[in-house]
Amino acid sequence: MKISIVIPVYNEAEGIDELYRRTMTALSELTQDFEIICVDDGSQDTSLEQLIAYHKKDKRFKVISLSRNFGHQSAVLAGLSVAKGDYIGVMDGDLQDPPEVFAQFYEQLQQGYDVAYAIRKNRKEGLVKKFAYWLFYRLLDKMADTKIPLDSGDFCMMSRRVVDKMLSMQEQSLYLRGIRAWVGYKQTGVEYERAERFAGEPKYDFKQLFQLAYNGMFSFSSLPVRVMRRLGYLTLTFSFLYALKILIFYFLYQDAPRGFTTLALAIIFFSGVQLISIGVLGEYVYRTYNESRQRPLFIIKDRFLNDDMR
Ligand code: UDP
Ligand code: MG
């Protein structure tokens, strides 16, 4: 098998005809030896039935279905785990990532790169969402211990060895684009125009997006804990200076009491700081717990792969 393409699908019924048509055409132009693996992430609409119908028409179009909705990142990982190709691509099922770009990725991989990822030239989302994305990627870039390319999502093509490394990681707080960067090898970016959704509404809500952002920050940076320590140093320095001032006033002018406002403000402020710090610590404890449970990240319910090998 030369090329595998993994596509997570969650309630995309309106777009599946077009998805089938566009991906099959784009891939056929590259090679005859390919498979498209759609991962049905517990859709409640007719997505799965439609996908299976296309699988019956053309066996290169394959489907696996998860036992419930596990989320985009887990769905992609599930697809990667069954992909057989030497080169493995990932794209969204809403056609925001044009499958025609795989030709460019493929060319880069044949020239010796191990990962070709897409860089979004512009987004067609609302102003607030656009700004949030812009800010997040720049913030993460400043924080992260691993260099994660700016404005690049999961749309990419990778070599077999990169995918095998990614699959061996088993991280619970999955941030695939971070792990992809962490793996290393030769990587290159390809610019593209991010299209609008072909049909339907975004399936990622704000809560899920924040969760993804948190995973990026906590999994690829130790800044949250380091910030607490720095804040500690800062307040300690400040309190020394303040103690000095109080002592000087006490000995020079003999006026000690008064200062209720300062006291009250200091208590309120530092209570807040302490609560936030405990919260950050709690986040790390929770994440450690979560990792230690070692739950599987996805459960595959059905496979429509039609492959004697499996
Ligand atoms: N998706 C999924 N599981 C989910 C949410 C989304 O498999 O729980 C799929 C969805 O069908 C789409 C892709 O992930 O193919 C990207 O989702 P969406 O378009 O909502 O994200 P956005 O483009 O807004 O980042
Ligand atoms: Mg989308």
Whole-number pLDDT of residue 126:
79
Ligand number, closest to the Cα atom of 96? 2
Identify the residue whose C-alpha is closest to ligand 1 atom 24.
202
Separation of 296 CA from ligand 1 center, angstroms? 20
Q: Which atom of ligand 1 is nearest to the CA of 71?
A: 8
114 part of a folded domain: yes
Whole-number pLDDT of residue 307:
63
Asked if 64 and 96 sit in the same domain, the reply is yes
Asked if 285 and 300 sit in the same domain, the reply is no
Asked if 97 and 230 sit in the same domain, the reply is no
The whole-angstrom separation of Cα 18 and Cα 146 is 37
What pTM, to 2 d.p., does this model score?
0.75
Q: Does the Cβ of 93 fall within 6 Å of ligand 1?
A: yes
149 part of a folded domain: yes
Asked if 197 and 282 sit in the same domain, the reply is no
Q: Which atom of ligand 1 is nearest to the CA of 9?
A: 11
208 part of a folded domain: no
Asked if 275 and 300 sit in the same domain, the reply is no
Whole-number pLDDT of residue 171:
81
**Average pLDDT per consecutive 10 residues, the chain (310 residues; last block may be shorter):** 94 93 93 94 94 92 95 94 95 91 94 92 77 83 79 90 90 84 89 82 78 81 80 84 84 76 83 83 85 87 72
86 part of a folded domain: yes
Asked if 46 and 140 sit in the same domain, the reply is yes
- From residue 159, give the alpha-carbon distance in Å to each of 14, 117, 128: 32, 12, 35
Q: Which amino acid is at 158?
A: M
Asked if 145 and 262 sit in the same domain, the reply is no
What residue ranges in 135-291 does DSSP mark as E strands? 152-159, 187-192
Asked if 186 and 279 sit in the same domain, the reply is no
12 part of a folded domain: yes
Asked if 37 and 150 sit in the same domain, the reply is yes
Whole-number pLDDT of residue 82:
95
Q: Does the Cβ of 38 fall within 6 Å of ligand 1?
A: no
Asked if 116 and 182 sit in the same domain, the reply is yes
Q: Does the Cβ of 71 fall within 6 Å of ligand 1?
A: yes
Asked if 130 and 236 sit in the same domain, the reply is no
The whole-angstrom separation of Cα 39 and Cα 33 is 20
Asked if 193 and 158 sit in the same domain, the reply is yes
Residue 203 neighbours by CB distance under 10 Å: 20
| Residue numbers of the domain that contains 255 | 223-293
- Domain containing residue 121: CATH number: 3.90.550.10
The whole-angstrom separation of Cα 238 and Cα 241 is 5
Q: Which atom of ligand 1 is nearest to the CA of 201?
A: 20
Ligand number, closest to the Cα atom of 202? 1
The whole-angstrom separation of Cα 101 and Cα 139 is 28
Whole-number pLDDT of residue 114:
94
213 part of a folded domain: no
- Count: domains in the chain: 2
218 part of a folded domain: no
Residue 228 neighbours by CB distance under 10 Å: 17
215 part of a folded domain: no
